[in-house]
Structure 1
Amino acid sequence: MKKLILATAATFGLALASPANAQDTAEAESHVPTDLNILMWTQPQRDFAFPRMEELAPVRTIPNADTFRELPRGPGLDLAIAIDGESWTLDRYFADQRAAGVIVIHNGEVRLERYRMGADVDTRWTSFSVAKSLTSTLVGAAIADGHIASLDAPVTDYIPELRGSGYDGVTVRQLLTMTSGVRWNEDYTDPNSDVSLFNQVTPEPGVDPVVTYMRTLESEVEPGTRWQYNTGETNLIGVVVANAVGMPLADYLSQKIWSRIGMAQDGEWIVNAGGNEIAGCCISATVRDYARFGLFVLGGGTIGDERVVPEGWFAAAGTRQADIGAPGRGYGYQWWTFDDSSFAAQGIFGQGIFIDPARNLVIASNGNWPVASEAGYRERRNAFYRAVQMAVDAEGGGE
């Protein structure tokens, strides 16, 4: 197969291994993404790319360890999925969501696990913005380790290149809650939006490309007074953490969490043109390993006798810190929150980790929606979450 260079939203290079024969070569090349923007890939291109991003892009590995956490199997769930007043089967739901993998873990047991679209238990799949919630967890770890003074520390203390920009006076907390007040356009359908362009800048020596772009943006309102979804700011959070701890994000994630909670496989994290992890996106892992991370969160962020994040970190991170204008929902520290105390990591095209501490429940899913983000797909996924909650309640709830 010929080698291609592809600049996507992550601005990464593409070099695929050669398939076994000419027919495989032709078929694979017909699905290799060629657009400069990952958000503009076709559905067949996404189907091809999402389970093999580490083959298409430069990555930094998140090493696991030699032992992994077993996930014992429990009895199946008796689910009744109701969407818009109509009863749906699991098959219909999975087809609608174009789900590649779904796992439900209740009280530490696998109650439902299913794979489609050629994926299986060993398939790594890209996370998109699910990575945001892992990045925010590293902020908690860096605070616990003493590398970041507090959530109220100015961002410019850790990214001095932002001084004199719209981020003067913005705190780490305001980045985490997306309340900086800085101008931003997150339109996934617009190739000229900030989210499409911010990782396509020409790198400057010694400066993360995201900083080069973000310091050109102006403040529109006083920090802390407006919530606006902003992937660029999650990437700034990654720069804050990496600068504070003095190591790449993948290494810190492995050191603090990934290698210690029983992950079955290494993770892979795409890096940008500056060679730094794209903190708001693009960790590849198996659906079971996403669930294992969810179990770590469910446990309050402790590993053995060690507290990896500050006391009460996830209680705060998974609670509404910003009003997003949706009844019953909010935004925490890079987690989407529900007023019943559950919260979720969510990525475009259908990725997710749902955590319900009251029910001792974790749901992880990978997939490829026909569109990046659309209310109907989100609401039907939420309906599936509610169906699982109701099934657990019918059995007697949590532990």
Structure 2
Amino acid sequence: MSQYFPPADTAAHYAELLASPPPTAADLGLMQGFPAPLAQRVTWENWISPPYNRWAFRNLSALRPSLRVWRGDAPTSPLVAAPRDLAGFSFDSVAGRKVTLNEHLAASYTDAFLVMKDDHVLLESYFNGQQAQDRHIMFSCTKSLVGLVGEYLLHQGILREDELTGRHVPELADSAFGDASIRHLLDMAVGIDYVEQYDDPDSGSSHYGYASGFLPAPAGLARYASLYEYLPSLQKKGAHGPLFHYVTAVTEVLGWVLERASGRSAENWVETLLWRPLGMEQDGAFLADPWGRAVVGGGFSGSLRDMARIGQLVLGEGSLGGRKILPAAVIRAIGRGSDPAYFAAVPEFAEWAPGASYRSQWYIWNDGAPEFMACGIHGQYIYVNSRNRVVVVKQSSLPAAESLAGADTVRLLRALGRGL
């Protein structure tokens, strides 16, 4: 997910961006005019690239086919405001100095930010033209929604941890996934020949992006019409778990398995198990791949406040506002985490989130009272500290999948969790 950034580079990055703050979508004139001039036009080809992502990340449904996740017609679950001035809150940065909350939000291209403590909203801020009703793509935070569904299906007996993937999806029998168990999928413990590298157009993650419809394939690289064609092509490398190997395609396979096992689509599960019962304010949306399949590895968009309700659900061990949404055992199973040694064996992850483990598509710290984190590229986060009852959500449009200031966000989240 991340990589190590030297302290001196991070300090220089903060200094540069604080002296000259990133321009907003409006400053750049993106999508202004009928039509917008070519240089300011956001398209399928450029939406994930800077500066076009400053507009695109909260308008993805205008650019790509999407699958609606209906909020239903039930009353909205209230979020009670109890404002607190957190502007001066500071944390120990990778830069080797104290960095304030406001400095970090500015330097990390934040679009929206929300902090809750004891079920009260202490801070809710919007930047770059985003408004409360806007959906923002959450990228790999999507995985954590799927993880909640997966753990629920285990709890209900629809899936079993030791079942093999090929039993549910025979099309994957000869792929890397055929003899991987459901638990291997949930915990990113699949031995697979795949590199999650975002700046190589021929990497495994790039081909995932083309097959999912995130981006058009460059000339000569269009090999798969859909994720349904792409996933069976991936081959095994080494043994499956115990290990940690972060591969977005693994979550897509998990989604395929839960759909086959239950006879219901992933978007239907998220809608009926989470979105409608939680009393969300806005509809959610999944990016659809070229064959109309939900992109469950990184294609979900939701509003800031609704993503905070996901955090509240986790904090409440499956309950929100006195209503039982999920069995508490589902959240407790995730909160147990896995062996941190597997996570620590991958240096770029260990440096980014030291002491964490990965279970059921969530990053977990557990010293008796778990901390949960969902994370997506370009600066998307949901963080839950169960001991101090803190929930934080961050939506961003960082110019790169991983960045200098972005690498500091985990430090900020955990400092808020411990310090409020």
1:199–1:209 Cα contact (<8 Å) kept:
no
Instruction: State the Cα distance separating 1:359 from its structure 2 match.
Output: 1.0
Write out per-residue CA displacement over residues 274-324 of structure 1, whole angstroms, 9 at most, x where no aligned residue: 211001111111111000011111111246564634x53223323432522
Aligned partner of 2:414 among 380, 386, 389: 386
SS at match of 1:316: helix
Q: Which residue of 2 aligns with 1:328?
A: 355
Q: Which residue of 2 aligns with 1:62?
A: 69
Instruction: State the Cα distance separating 1:370 from its structure 2 match.
Output: 2.1
> Which runs of no fewer than 5 residues in structure 2 stay unpaired?
1-30, 214-223, 345-349
1:337–1:344 Cα contact (<8 Å) kept:
yes
Corresponding letter in the other structure for 1:30: Q
Q: Which moved more, 1:344-353 or 1:327-336?
A: 327-336
SS at match of 1:32: coil
**Percent same amino acid at aligned positions?**
26
Q: In the alignment, is residue 26 of structure 1 matched against residue 33 of structure 2? A: no
Q: Which residue of 1 aligns with 2:131?
A: 120
Q: In the alignment, is residue 367 of structure 1 matched against residue 396 of structure 2? A: yes
Q: In the alignment, is residue 279 of structure 1 matched against residue 279 of structure 2? A: no
Q: Which moved more, 1:97-106 or 1:137-146?
A: 137-146
Q: Distance in 1 between matches of 2:136 and 2:295?
A: 16
Q: Distance in 1 between matches of 2:119 and 2:231?
A: 41
Write out per-residue CA displacement over residues 171-201 of structure 1, whole angstroms, 9 at most, x where no aligned residue: 0110111111111111011111111113535
Q: Distance in 1 between matches of 2:343 and 2:40?
A: 41
1:175–1:233 Cα contact (<8 Å) kept:
yes
Q: Distance in 2 between matches of 1:144 and 1:247?
A: 17
Q: Which residue of 2 aligns with 1:230?
A: 247
> Which runs of no fewer than 5 residues in structure 1 stay unpaired?
1-20, 393-399
Q: Which residue of 2 aligns with 1:353?
A: 382
Alignment of 1:35-46 (within 5 A): 35=45, 41-46=48-53
Corresponding letter in the other structure for 1:64: R
Instruction: State the Cα distance separating 1:42 from its structure 2 match.
Output: 2.5
Instruction: State the Cα distance separating 1:35 from its structure 2 match.
Output: 2.7
Aligned partner of 1:296 among 313, 324, 334: 313
Corresponding letter in the other structure for 2:389: N
Write out per-residue CA displacement over residues 114-133 of structure 1, whole angstroms, 9 at most, x where no aligned residue: 11011121111001000000
Q: In the alignment, is residue 175 of structure 1 matched against residue 185 of structure 2? A: yes
1:144–1:308 Cα contact (<8 Å) kept:
no
Q: Which residue of 2 aligns with 1:155?
A: 165
Q: Distance in 1 between matches of 2:128 and 2:288?
A: 26
Q: Which residue of 1 aligns with 2:20?
A: none
Instruction: State the Cα distance separating 1:86 from its structure 2 match.
Output: 2.5
Q: Distance in 2 between matches of 1:211 and 1:68?
A: 36
CA RMSD of aligned residues (A): 2.5
Instruction: State the Cα distance separating 1:75 from its structure 2 match.
Output: 4.0
Q: Which residue of 2 aligns with 1:196?
A: 206
TM-score of the two chains, using structure 1 as the length reference: 0.84
1:100–1:119 Cα contact (<8 Å) kept:
yes
TM-score of the two chains, using structure 2 as the length reference: 0.80
2:44–2:63 Cα contact (<8 Å) kept:
no
Q: Distance in 1 between matches of 2:323 and 2:392?
A: 26
